[in-house]
Amino acid sequence: MTMRTLTVALLSLAACRGDSDTDASRPARRPEKRAPAHDKDDGDDVRCTRDRDRVCVGDDVVACDGGELGRRVRTCKDGCKDGRCVASCASAGSELIYVVDLNADLLAFDPRKLPNDPFRRIGSLKGCDANTEHGASPFSMSVDRQGMAWVLFGDGAMYKVSITDARCQRAMFLPSPGGSPQFGMGYATDEPGGATEKLYIAGNDDRHMLSAVDTDAKTPQARDVGRIPVPAGETQNPELTGTGDARLYGFFPTENEPSFVQEIDRRSGRALGPKWKLGDRPLGRVTAYAFAHWGGKFYIFVTLGDGSDRSTVHVLDRTTGKHSVLLESVPYKISGAGVSTCAPEKDQ
């Protein structure tokens, strides 16, 4: 996420001394606007400008009012950066995998409950998008460190959805110029063990472009990073998942060869390391798919267009590359999966 830092010395406001002049023709003096009080000298700070709605003053988030410092919005427990509290993985449930299906149901997937049923329905997203009645359904999703799901519908509409009760609100989101309105997506931290992250998206078009998004911005805008290499003859974009150790991975649903998982360089889009294959044969025509990393394993949700609409869950060990079919005949056609970078890196 592109960040700009502008510095300004905080100015103290001089107290106004009353004047004994009672000349009625003198215009009344307007009271000066004061910045919020702070417990310590905050030193350099980000300047309020008309295109910024909030800035950081020490550990406080402060509102900007007409280009000037206004009221204190909140005090951040783990520090403030770029007008937002640094996410600290404090949100309950942010360590699970969350999935959405073509019926617009949001579900939690808890790998710790296996071999029992790991799914738990949270609620319906049909009320999010007025166009769902006309054919739009969830296309992809991801989950940020604050426990908010970002769900993309097939018509290009993006929504922020609560992982607690499935309540949603429209997200102001702009794709990169010429970018596809449909894409796979996943968060990855900016550095190993870091508390800041970016959302990475893989466009579902002939460009196969990887882009990065600062979702903390007032209007999140995708920025192209580089082209993702897709096997010759394949057309579908990879679905993405990221980790708390600043790594990004893609699941490539290929029709002419075995589908596979591979690391993607989040700075350039190029392929890194080995291909971990899902078996020795092609899966067939994949009509819905999703992908998430949890506890050192990749969980891949696949629906095949073979007439049966059969859905399966695959697991692939990140260390050994061992693949197996975890669940067969799943009653959900899962089109999106999201996992926060707060999720465990190793099995617990």
* Structural domain boundaries in the chain: 1-11+19-86, 97-339
pLDDT at 46: 67
Low-confidence ranges of the chain (pLDDT < 70): 1-46, 50-51, 73-74, 77-78, 85-88, 90-94, 129-135, 308-309, 346-348
Query: Distance between CA 183 and CA 199 in Å, rounded?
Result: 12
Query: What does pTM read for this prediction?
Result: 0.75
Q: At the fourth CATH level, which superfamily is domain 97-339?
A: Glycosyl hydrolase domain; family 43 (2.115.10.20)
Query: Taking a C-beta distance cutoff of 8 angstroms, is the pair 300, 286 a contact?
Result: no
**% helix, strand, coil for the chain, step of 5:** 0, 40, 55
pLDDT at 35: 39
Whose tokens are 């004061």? That residue is: 34
Query: Taking a C-beta distance cutoff of 8 angstroms, is the pair 240, 261 a contact?
Result: no
pLDDT at 231: 83
pLDDT at 30: 38
